[in-house]
Amino acid sequence: MATPATSPDQGAFKTPKIVRVRSTGSTSGTPITIPASPFMKKLGCGTGVNVYLMNRVGNLNASPWAVKKINSKCAAKQVAVYQQRLNEEAKVLKGINHPNIVGFRAFTTAKDGSKCLAMEYGGEQSLNDLIEKRREDGLKAFPAAIIEKVALHVARGLQYLHNEKKLLHGDMKSCNVVIKGDFETVKICDVGVSLQLDENMKVSDPKAKYIGTEPWKPKECLEEGGEITDKADIYAYGLTLWEMMTLAMPHLEMLEDDEGEVLEDSMELSFDEDAYYERLGTRPALDTEALGSSYRRMVELFYLCTEEDHKKRPTAAQIVQALESNASLDKTPSEVIVID
């Protein structure tokens, strides 16, 4: 747990008070106690927000929650933007109920007006955390069976979002997949930038802006006037599988040495900005020979999902059907994904 920041004058540090707020989104409307940030374990952070682990006191059987709060260090002019985004995320999450997507628990407002979104605790580490740890430990790609498990569970979550809720997640990547234990559960998180889809799986609002994260953006989301559909999530999903096979970040291979180590001390000197932007929206290279035959299905799925022409990419439903078929038939590792 991170140590709370203090000023040079230690006597000036005041013990944060427990903030009691009433949920504006829970069905019961009962008071909810949200501890001050220093009393919760920090799980991670995002643009303008921090996420904490909240152990609920008073009930030994109560499961912990993950609480997303506005980062107090944000510039004052940005706070309103992040609070509005958190408010929108709460509205979307409240209407979602799927085992592969973190669930809504409560949306609260503290006395100082800051927003707190309480969610199901999906796991202490994101998939990105596990990728970084594996790389730091000098290991290679995750076992093919683990990648396939993550691929199926994430695809099920995306199928639910696309087909049942008509929502584009809008920021698919390893950071937004949380893992509990030894891949006991796999859940998508962070629906704060999701976009509504119409019956044709296109973003319904022509003025809506695809946010995403640059290295995971498909070509159509980088071009002015590009057609944004459910297939934008599929491209980013394919790159998430690529992350598990390479332990790297898409399109940033120019920052690595010959052994795959990130050149942190010389990023500015080694970074070729023109080459980076030219690669965005394309399929990053993958050393299939080094991976071996056991990864053949996941390599095939990666290739299908990262077609530059979004119309050639499979739907989430097609991916689920193919992966479930492979699992039920217990095919040999040499079999590949075939999507009609």
Alpha carbons 250 and 230: distance in angstroms, whole number: 20
CA dist list (Å): 71 to 27, 82, 116:
27, 9, 11
Q: Of 198, 194, 237, 197, which Cα lies nearest the Cα of 217?
A: 237
Catalytic residue among 112, 171, 182, 205: 171
The order of strands in the sheet holding 185-188 is 125-126, 177-180, 185-188
Would you call 328 exposed, middle or buried from its count of C-beta atoms within 10 A (0-12, 13-18, 19+)? exposed
Dist. CA 174–CA 125, nearest whole Å: 11
Question: End-to-end distance of the chain based on CA atoms, in angstroms?
Answer: 49
Pairing state of beta strands 19-22 and 31-34? antiparallel
Match 């009609």 to its residue by tokens.
340
- Other residues' Cβ atoms within 10 Å of the Cβ of residue 239: 25
112 catalytic per annotation: no
| Nearest alpha carbon to residue 302 among 319, 289, 280 | 319
Q: In terms of Cα–Cα distance, which of 86, 121, 124, 85 is closest to 105?
A: 121
For residues 40 and 187, give the distance between their C-alpha atoms in angstroms, rounded to a whole number: 22
CB 239, CB 216: distance < 8 Å:
yes
Q: Which residues are known to be catalytic?
A: 171
